[in-house]
Amino acid sequence: MKNVKNVIVYSSKEVAYYSQIFPEFQEKFSFVHYGLDYEDNHSYEGSLPENFLFSGGGSNRDYNTIVKAVEKTKNSLPFVIATQPWRVPKHDEKITVLDNVVVETFGDVLGKSEALVLSLKDVDLSSGHMVMLQAMSLGVPIIVNDIPSVRDYVDESSVLFYKSGDFNQLASIIDDLETIQRADKAKILYFNKYTSKKLMDRLIEI
């Protein structure tokens, strides 16, 4: 890293994390908000419920909390999870795990859902941003646990937070989906701040 001027990370906690690992280069680490365009979406050819809640992804996911919340909720909406089946604990029939949703069709499935539910592990590394920003771009309401790497990007005006690991609180939110209608503000935030062009603008400024 001796000849590298800047190392970009996508969450504020990662600056301290990598600075501890590489103390001699700690001044090189810079937190920059991530941004990405989601234009290459293809239609998902599989079967989906008419109305459903959705989660997906693999990195630093806590599907155990989601499974427990879905078991407890009185909401009868099916819950679809797009990930490898081994990542999801044993679950009841309300949950369907799809292992054939690829990057190109992920947005199609996400966009058809009633809401995105993210349960992320509270680690020092960034995770969940790509899925969360894609939901914002599509105007899909977001329920996500309250961790620093998410707070770097959104607040209560654009998503609905719940306490990490609190499946009772998450179940209560799922029971009353009207409380999550913040999608319009989240979509505006995405186009104002989190497109690929906005990311490039931030990188140029460094």
177 within 8 A of 115, measured Cβ to Cβ: yes
Q: 């999608």: which residue's tokens? A: 183
- Neighbouring CB atoms inside 10 A of 15's CB total 17
pLDDT score of 24 more than 80: yes
In 3-state terms the chain splits into helix, strand, coil percentages (rounded to 5) of 40, 15, 45
- pLDDT by residue (tens digit) across 149-190? 999 999 999 999 999 999 999 999 999 887 677 899 999 999
- pLDDT by residue (tens digit) across 63-101? 999 999 999 999 999 999 999 999 999 999 999 999 999
In one letter, which amino acid is 76?
A: S
